[in-house]
């Protein structure tokens, strides 16, 4: 076993982060808010191409604010991506809403627009919002989903937590919903160690998020609160890390793309398929994944591959377990056209090491181990 571990996706620091952190220390702006927070919001909004942004302590909190602003309340239906991480859908429960899970389509592994439409026909005006995630950095069919939401008068929330820098039809993800969320968790394409951001062209909505995220403190000389608030604001230190990371985002994306393409070329003669994307989108390739073809899936299971890699000190990870299969959501409706696409991808899929510090030689080790199993 190699002593040096090959990670799935770990933080990559460059040095500029420390400069912004030092500035915060030198000016004593350690507490939440300050220049770094304001500038990080402005820089991120400019990069993505939306009017305004609010920096918060987690991508989950950005999604929570989106669900709250969408007016989701007790018993309201929210149509959600099924094949995703639980953070996409948990905020619905925070506000008392009810998740209905929408199966994936094969083209991108994301929410199927046709199934989404059938769910609207089933639930009608009970649907308050739709939350669609861009899985592993691959954009969903965002214009189709947004159009369906518009026709049924539901708020579209784009979960772009995994897809920052990815483009759909030439436009950055994180801009297609009325409200949008991105994540800066430690394994994302850029990180602030933890943190997230709420994005919108609705500047009043962004202002409301900032208000909610600072305990809903009313503009009075004393501490007065007319609404329930949250302690969700990103700190000035953390925002400094983000500003330094943002300088390198396109560099990170290019490295992720090269990793994906090397896997795709190396596995061309194996009975596996890389995570797919359509020709009109440009993923950020946050995680390179594959599925084992059905005729091999019982002989070379994803778990067999994962354990073989782990035995060589290499991290890989199962595909997200679909939300309708999670015990916590037992009893929630799941809308599909037949056999679950998400279940099939989960059963046959694996996330491969996609760390941008991984050398070509180290990636070749990963490739050789996997090839040896076939």
pLDDT digits (tens, 9 = 90+) for 338-370: 999 999 999 999 999 999 999 999 999 999 999
* The model's pTM: 0.97
| Same domain? 227 vs 271 | no
pLDDT digits (tens, 9 = 90+) for 99-139: 999 999 999 999 999 999 999 999 999 999 999 999 999 99
| Same domain? 239 vs 254 | no
Residue 9 covered by a domain: no
| Same domain? 173 vs 300 | no
Write out the residue range of the structural domain in which residue 369 sits: 249-373
Q: Where are the beta strands (DSSP E) in 145-212?
A: 155-159, 167-168, 171-172, 179-183, 196-200
Instruction: Answer for the pair 8, 351: CB distance below 8 angstroms, yes or no.
Output: yes
Residue 7 covered by a domain: no
pLDDT for 73: 97
98-108 b/e (C-beta count within 10 Å ≥ 16 → b): bbbbbbbbeeb
pLDDT digits (tens, 9 = 90+) for 311-342: 999 999 999 999 999 999 999 999 999 999 99
Distances (CA, A) of 202 to 50, 80, 198, 206, 207: 9, 22, 11, 7, 9
pLDDT digits (tens, 9 = 90+) for 296-306: 999 999 999 99
Starting at the edge strand that comes first in sequence, how are the strands of the sheet with 127-133 ordered? 52-56, 196-200, 179-183, 155-159, 127-133, 77-81, 98-102, 334-335
282-297 b/e (C-beta count within 10 Å ≥ 16 → b): bbbbbbbbbbbeeeeb
Q: What CATH number is attached to the domain comprising 350?
A: 3.90.1150.10
Q: What CATH number is attached to the domain comprising 140?
A: 3.40.640.10
């Amino acid at each position: 076993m190699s002593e040096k571990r090959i990670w799935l996706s770990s933080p990559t620091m460059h040095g500029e982060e420390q400069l912004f952190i030092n500035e915060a220390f030198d000016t004593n702006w350690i507490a939440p808010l300050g220049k770094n927070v304001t500038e990080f919001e402005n820089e991120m909004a400019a990069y993505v191409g939306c009017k305004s942004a609010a920096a918060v302590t987690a991508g989950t909190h950005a999604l929570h604010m989106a669900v709250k602003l969408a007016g989701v309340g007790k018993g309201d239906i929210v149509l959600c991506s099924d094949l995703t991480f639980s953070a996409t859908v948990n905020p619905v429960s925070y506000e008392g809403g009810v998740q209905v899970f929408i199966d994936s389509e094969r083209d991108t592994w994301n929410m199927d627009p046709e199934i989404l439409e059938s769910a609207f026909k089933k639930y009608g005006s009970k649907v308050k919002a739709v939350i669609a995630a861009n899985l592993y950095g691959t954009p969903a069919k965002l214009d189709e989903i947004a159009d369906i939401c518009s026709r049924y008068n539901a708020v579209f929330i784009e979960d772009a937590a995994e897809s920052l820098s990815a483009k759909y039809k030439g436009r950055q993800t994180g801009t297609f919903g009325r409200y949008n969320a991105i994540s800066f968790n430690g394994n994302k394409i850029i990180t602030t160690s933890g943190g997230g951001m709420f994005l919108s062209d609705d500047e009043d909505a962004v202002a409301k998020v900032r208000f909610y995220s600072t305990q809903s403190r009313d503009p009075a000389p004393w501490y007065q609160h007319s609404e329930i608030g949250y302690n969700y604001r990103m700190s000035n230190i953390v925002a400094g890390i983000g500003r330094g990371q943002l300088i390198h985002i396109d560099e990170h994306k290019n490295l992720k793309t090269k990793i994906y393409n090397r896997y795709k070329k190396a596995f061309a003669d194996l009975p596996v398929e890389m995570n797919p994307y359509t020709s009109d989108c440009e993923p950020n390739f946050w995680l390179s994944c594959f599925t084992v073809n059905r005729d091999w899936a019982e002989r070379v299971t994803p778990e067999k591959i994962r354990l073989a890699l782990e035995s060589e000190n290499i991290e890989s990870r199962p595909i997200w377990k679909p939300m309708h299969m999670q015990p916590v959501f037992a009893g929630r409706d799941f809308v599909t056209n037949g056999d679950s696409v998400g279940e099939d991808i989960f059963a046959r899929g694996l996330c491969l090491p996609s760390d941008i510090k991984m050398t070509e030689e180290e990636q070749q080790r990963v490739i050789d181990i996997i090839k040896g199993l076939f």
